[in-house]
C-alpha cells in the first residue's frame, strides 16, 4: 500500500515535547534509540517511550515494505501519553514498514498514535488489534490478513480510526470476522477508511455494552466475497449514533444474512443516517428488532440494488421497517429498486414521517401500509415509474424525474427536473430556488465551472518537501496550472501557526519556497498548502 504522508490537519492534535527515537532491524546491535544507534525491535522500543515521545520505524524507500516480525503489547502497566503529549509511532517519512504480528496486538494504554504503518496478521486466528485503552488514534495505516476481527474495541472511548485500509479478515468456519467491532465506549470515530472483504460486517456495533456518540463517516465499505460477507454496517446497540457520507455496496444474501447494506436493530436510539450512497446490494436499509427509537434517514441515495436467488418479493428491497418508533424519511432518493420499495413487517413503524423523497423505478411494497401507525406526515414526495405509492396531497408523479445520468449512478437533478422546488415549503427558503427540492440532491444552477466532479490532483504531487527530515532548512515545492489564491503556512503539532510563507494570488508556474527552522526545537511540523478550495497537509520533521 502506498502512503504519501499526506496528513489531515487533525494530526495537529499531536504534541511533540519529548524525545525522538528510531528503530532499524537491519543494524547488528540494538543501541540507545538515536538515529545513529537505533533500537532493533519495535517491542523493545515500546519499553522506552514516555508521554510526548515519537518513535520512527525505518523501512524501505520503495516497495515492498520492510518487514518487522513482532509480538507487540501495551498492557495496563505500559506508559500512556496525555492529551497534550501523546506517544507517536510512525514509519520514518517516505519509507514503507510492515509489522507482521505473532499474535493480537493488545492495547490498554491511552493516548497512543499510530501512523503510516502496515499491520499484517499473517493469516493467524487472532484479532489483529484488541483495544481497551482510551484516546488512541490510528491514521493512514493498513490492517490486513487475519482470521478474526481487524479491530476488537471493547469498552474503549475516544478512539479515532481515520484514513486507514482494513481488509481481508476471513475464516473457514461458520463464525464471523469483522473489520471493526465496537462493544461499548463513548465518542468513538471511524472516518474516511476503506474497509472491504470481511467475512462478517465491515463495521459492527455490538450489543453487550451500549455504544454512545459513535460517528461513522466518509468510509467506503464493500465486499467482493459475494455471499461470504454480511453487512457494511450492523448496529445492535447504540445511542446518539451518526452514520453519514459513507459508500456501502456489494453485499449478497448469505446463510446468516440477507445481504442488506445497512442494518440497524436491537437496542438503538437517536440515530442519524445522512448522505450515504447505498447500491449493488441485496437490500438497502433494514430497521428492525422492536426496540429502535428515533431514527432520521435523510439525504441518502439507495439505488441499483440486486435480487439474490431471483426472489423479488423479499430481496432487493429499499428499506425494511419492523418494530421502530419515530422514524423520519426526509429527502432521500430511491432508484432502481427491483425488490419491495418498502418492506413493512408486522411490527411496522409507530410515528412515521416521509417528506421530500424521490422514488424512481421501484417495485411494489411487501406488507401493509396499515402497519405504519401514528403517522405524522406523508406528503411532498415524488413517484416516478413506481408499482405502488403512498399518496400525499402535494405529491409529484410522472415517468421521468430527469436525473443527470442514472446509468452512471448520477442521481443529481437536471435543470428541467419536475422534482425541483417541489418539497415542503415549511422547510424554509434557504435553497437555490427558495424552496427545497425532492430527493437527496438540491439542484444548483450551472455557474460555468465544473463542480460535480472536479479534477483532483494527486496529493503527493500537490506539495513536496525536500529534504525531509531536514536541518535547518527545507524546500516546499508546488505547481499551479492556473492563477490561484495560495496560502502556505507552517503549524506545530499543537495546531499553532508558526509561520505564513505565502498568502496571495499567484500566477501559473512552478514554485519553490524555502523555510528556515533553525530557531525552532526538533520535532514534527506540518506544512499546509491551500490552493483555492483544495487543501494539502504534509508532515515535515526537523532533526537536530
Instruction: Kindly state whether residue 377 falls inside one of the protein's structural domains.
Output: no
3-state secondary structure of 522: coil
Q: CA 8 to CA 87: how far, in whole Å?
A: 18
Q: Which pLDDT band holds residue 452 (cuts at 50, 70, 90)?
A: very low
Domain boundary among 76, 102, 128: 102
Per-residue confidence (pLDDT) for residue 173, from 0 to 100: 87
Q: Which of 102, 135, 159 is the last residue of a domain?
A: 102
Give me the percent of the chain exceeding a pLDDT of 70: 93
What pLDDT is stored for residue 105 in this prediction? 99
Q: What gap in Å lies between CA 58 and CA 60, rounded to an integer? A: 7
Residue range 328-387, pLDDT digits in tens: 999 999 999 999 999 998 888 888 999 999 999 999 999 999 889 888 889 999 999 999
From 62, 82, 102, the end of a domain falls on 102
C-alpha cell at 110: 491511552
Domain that holds residue 35: 1-102
**What pLDDT score was predicted for residue 512?**
84
Residue 242 lies in a domain: no
Establish how many alpha carbons lie within 13 A of residue 355's alpha carbon, considering only the half-sphere containing its beta carbon.
14
Q: Which tens digit of pLDDT belongs to each residue from 41-54?
A: 999 999 999 999 99
* Long-range Cβ contact pairs of 440-447 (< 8 A, separation 24 or more): 440/275, 440/299, 440/300, 440/301, 440/331, 440/332, 440/333, 440/358, 440/411, 441/333, 441/411, 441/412, 441/413, 443/412, 443/413, 443/414, 443/415, 443/417, 445/415, 446/415
> What are the backbone angles phi and psi of residue 369, rounded to the nearest 5°?
-65, -10
What is the SS3 string spanning 168-201? EECCCCCCCCCCEEEECEECCEEECCEEEEECCC
The answer to whether residue 352 is domain-embedded is no
Residue 259 has phi, psi (to 5 degrees) of 75, 25
Contact 79, 85 (CB under 8 A): no
Q: What is the pLDDT of residues 222-249, one digit of tens each?
A: 999 998 899 999 999 999 999 999 999 9
Is the residue at 442 inside a domain? Answer: no
DSSP 8-state class, residue 397: E
- Per the domain annotation, does 498 fall within a domain? yes
Nearest C-alpha neighbor of 92 from the set 467, 479, 484: 467
Residue 312 lies in a domain: no
pLDDT at 17: 52
pLDDT at residue number 428: 87
User: In this structure, is residue 35 part of a structural domain?
Assistant: yes
- Distance in Å from the first CA to the final CA of the chain: 31
| Residue 336, pLDDT score | 98
- Give the cell for residue 239: 445511542
Q: With 90 as the cut, is the pLDDT of residue 179 above it?
A: yes
d(CA 519, CA 63): 36
Query: 180-211, pLDDT tens digit by residue?
Result: 999 999 999 999 999 999 999 999 999 767 78
Residue 9: φ, ψ to 5°: -65, -10
Mean pLDDT calculated for residue range 283-301: 90
Q: What is the pLDDT of residues 63-120, one digit of tens each?
A: 999 999 999 999 999 999 999 899 999 999 999 999 999 999 999 999 999 999 999 9
Percent of the chain with pLDDT over 90: 68
pLDDT of residue 218: 96
99 close to 118: Cβ distance less than 8 angstroms: yes
How is residue 418 written as a grid cell? Answer: 419536475
pTM of the model: 0.81
Asked if residue 270 is part of any domain, the answer here is: no
The CATH number given to whatever domain includes residue 487 is: 2.60.40.3080
Q: How many domains does the chain have?
A: 2
Q: Residue 452 CA to chain centroid, in angstroms?
A: 21
Amino acid at each position: 500500500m502506498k502512503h504519501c504522508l499526506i496528513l489531515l490537519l487533525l494530526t495537529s492534535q499531536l504534541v511533540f515535547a519529548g524525545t525522538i527515537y528510531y528503530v532499524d532491524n537491519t543494524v547488528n546491535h540494538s543501541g540507545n534509540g538515536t538515529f545513529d544507534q537505533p533500537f532493533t525491535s519495535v517491542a523493545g522500543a515500546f519499553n522506552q517511550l514516555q508521554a510526548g515521545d515519537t518513535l520512527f520505524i525505518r523501512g524501505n524507500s520503495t516497495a515492498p515494505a520492510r518487514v518487522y516480525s513482532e509480538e507487540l503489547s501495551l498492557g495496563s502497566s505500559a506508559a500512556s501519553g496525555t492529551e497534550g503529549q501523546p506517544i507517536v509511532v510512525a514509519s520514518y517519512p517516505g519509507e514503507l514498514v510492515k509489522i507482521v504480528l505473532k499474535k493480537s496486538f493488545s492495547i490498554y494504554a491511552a493516548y497512543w498514535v499510530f501512523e503510516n504503518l502496515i499491520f499484517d496478521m499473517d493469516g493467524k486466528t487472532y484479532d489483529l488489534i484488541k483495544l481497551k485503552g482510551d484516546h488512541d488514534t490510528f491514521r493512514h495505516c493498513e490492517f490486513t490478513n487475519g482470521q478474526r476481527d481487524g479491530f476488537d474495541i471493547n469498552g474503549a472511548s475516544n478512539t479515532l480510526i481515520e484514513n486507514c485500509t482494513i481488509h481481508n479478515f476471513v475464516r473457514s468456519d461458520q463464525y464471523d470476522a469483522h473489520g471493526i467491532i465496537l462493544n461499548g465506549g463513548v465518542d468513538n470515530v471511524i472516518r474516511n477508511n476503506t474497509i472491504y472483504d470481511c467475512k462478517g460486517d465491515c463495521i459492527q456495533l455490538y450489543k453487550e455494552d451500549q455504544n454512545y456518540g459513535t460517528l461513522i463517516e466518509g468510509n467506503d465499505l464493500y465486499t467482493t466475497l459475494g455471499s461470504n460477507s454480511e453487512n457494511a454496517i450492523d448496529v445492535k446497540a447504540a445511542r446518539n449514533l451518526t452514520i453519514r457520507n459513507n459508500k456501502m455496496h456489494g453485499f449478497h444474501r448469505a446463510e446468516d444474512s440477507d445481504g442488506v447494506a445497512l442494518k440497524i436493530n436491537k437496542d438503538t436510539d437517536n440515530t442519524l443516517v445522512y448522505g450515504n450512497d447505498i447500491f449493488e446490494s441485496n437490500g438497502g436499509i433494514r430497521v428492525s428488532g422492536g426496540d429502535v427509537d428515533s431514527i432520521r434517514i435523510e439525504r441518502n441515495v439507495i439505488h441499483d440494488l440486486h435480487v439474490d436467488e431471483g426472489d423479488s418479493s423479499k430481496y432487493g428491497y429499499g428499506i425494511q421497517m419492523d418494530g421502530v418508533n419515530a422514524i423520519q424519511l426526509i429527502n432521500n432518493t430511491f432508484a432502481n429498486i427491483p425488490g419491495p420499495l418498502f418492506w413493512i413487517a408486522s411490527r411496522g413503524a409507530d410515528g412515521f414521517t416521509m417528506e421530500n423523497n424521490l422514488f424512481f423505478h421501484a417495485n411494489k411494497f411487501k406488507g401493509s401500509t396499515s402497519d405504519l401507525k401514528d403517522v405524522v406526515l406523508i406528503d411532498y414526495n415524488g413517484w416516478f415509474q413506481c408499482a405502488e405509492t403512498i399518496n400525499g396531497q402535494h405529491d409529484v408523479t410522472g415517468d421521468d424525474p430527469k436525473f443527470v445520468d442514472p446509468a452512471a449512478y448520477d442521481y443529481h437533478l437536471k435543470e428541467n427536473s419536475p422534482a425541483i422546488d417541489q418539497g415542503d415549503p415549511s422547510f424554509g427558503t434557504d435553497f437555490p430556488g427558495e424552496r427545497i427540492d425532492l430527493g437527496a440532491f438540491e439542484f444548483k444552477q450551472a455557474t460555468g465551472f465544473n463542480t460535480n466532479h472536479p479534477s483532483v490532483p494527486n496529493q503527493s504531487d500537490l506539495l513536496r518537501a525536500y529534504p525531509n527530515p531536514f536541518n535547518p532548512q527545507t524546500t516546499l515545492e508546488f505547481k499551479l496550472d492556473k492563477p490561484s489564491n495560495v496560502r502556505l503556512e507552517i503549524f506545530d503539532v499543537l495546531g499553532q501557526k508558526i509561520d505564513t510563507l505565502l498568502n496571495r494570488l499567484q500566477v501559473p508556474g512552478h514554485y519553490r519556497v524555502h523555510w528556515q527552522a533553525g530557531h525552532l526545537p526538533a520535532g514534527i511540523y506540518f506544512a499546509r498548502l491551500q490552493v483555492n478550495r483544495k487543501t494539502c497537509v504534509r508532515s515535515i520533521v526537523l532533526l537536530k
